[in-house]
Amino acid sequence: METVRFGYTPRVKLTSERNRRLRAWVVLAAATLAALAWIGVDGSAAAGQTAVICPELSGVLPCCGPPVAGPAAAQLCCPVPSTACCVTTGTSCCVAAGTSCCTAATCTQALTIAATPDPAPAGRSATITGALTGGTVAAQTVVLWQKLAGQATFTDVLRVQTDSSGGFRFTRVVQTNAEWFAKSGSIESPTFDESVRAAAALRASRVRRAAGTKLALAGSITPSHAGERVALEQLRGRRWMTIARPRLSAHSRFTVLERLADVVERFRVVLAADARNALTVSAVIVVRVS
């Protein structure tokens, strides 16, 4: 082991606070060198070790405590802030050796939110997910607030506990467009607008008819859009053409009679987007003309 020799330290008369601090620095530096020599740390890459030196003097925030041996990578008094460290201490430095800094930025919490699928089909489930970040995130209560199309205010509808990483999940069966946001304590997520397609059904009285005869096409829209008009479309060439605009009955249904040509006919029904539902297109039905 290499012997470390310390040079002559001149006597300094302490006539001021500044001189007292200076002497403390000199004493600390000598003690540090002695400690490094004792543990065999020379600060070189070959040694594979360094030391953490955090002087605790008046006017200097207490960081890591007395000098200690550390790994090859340099250790700072205050490492990069970590979300795992969020104890409000009022300081910007570590409370013990090797711990992360607790700063105001570290403790800032936020909530995210998203939903899939979007748009969602009416009568099916939408999954709302998100995460709580910053500070303590595990086992925190998250409340889902909902406002459906036509409603004026939000209502809390579900609550869950976050998992170990702060994640949360809700499942809702949807019928109309909805707005959702999540809340944990005083922390609120942005509002997520969920679009919902209505369920549009279209049926033909028969799938085979003679040319020139009339075919009854009946359909329905769920949820109810009673009193609204839908577009009955027919494929002509490569374009869909509107051939009728029936009004939905009180039960949200319609019936249209269509005279058939001497070719295969394809039909569909379309509900335009409104405040309740997104643009909705039914499946195509095929009628073979003989």
Distances (CA, A) of 170 to 126, 131, 160: 8, 12, 8
**Which tokens in the block code for residue 70?**
């550390």
CA distance 268 to 56: 79
pLDDT score at 258 = 84
**Which tokens in the block code for residue 67?**
């000098």
Domains of the chain and CATH, by start: 17-70 (no CATH), 78-108 (no CATH), 110-196 (2.60.40.10), 198-289 (2.20.130.20)
Tens-level pLDDT at each residue, the chain (290 residues): 444 444 444 444 444 565 666 565 555 555 555 444 443 434 333 344 443 334 333 343 344 444 444 443 333 333 334 444 444 444 444 444 444 444 444 467 899 999 999 999 999 999 999 999 887 889 999 999 999 999 999 999 999 999 999 999 999 999 999 999 999 999 999 999 999 999 999 998 876 667 778 889 999 999 999 999 999 999 988 999 999 999 999 999 999 998 877 678 899 999 999 999 999 999 999 988 77
CA distance 46 to 44: 5
CA distance 152 to 25: 67
pLDDT score at 169 = 97
pLDDT score at 251 = 96
pLDDT score at 278 = 96
pLDDT score at 264 = 83
pLDDT score at 55 = 38
pLDDT score at 27 = 54
**Which tokens in the block code for residue 265?**
């006919």
Other Cβ atoms within 10 Å of 150 Cβ, number: 9
Cis bond leading into 10, ω under 30°? no
CA distance 108 to 93: 17
pLDDT score at 21 = 61
Other Cβ atoms within 10 Å of 189 Cβ, number: 23
- Residue 66 burial (10 A CB sphere; 0-12, 13-18, 19+): middle
CA distance 274 to 226: 13
pLDDT score at 35 = 45
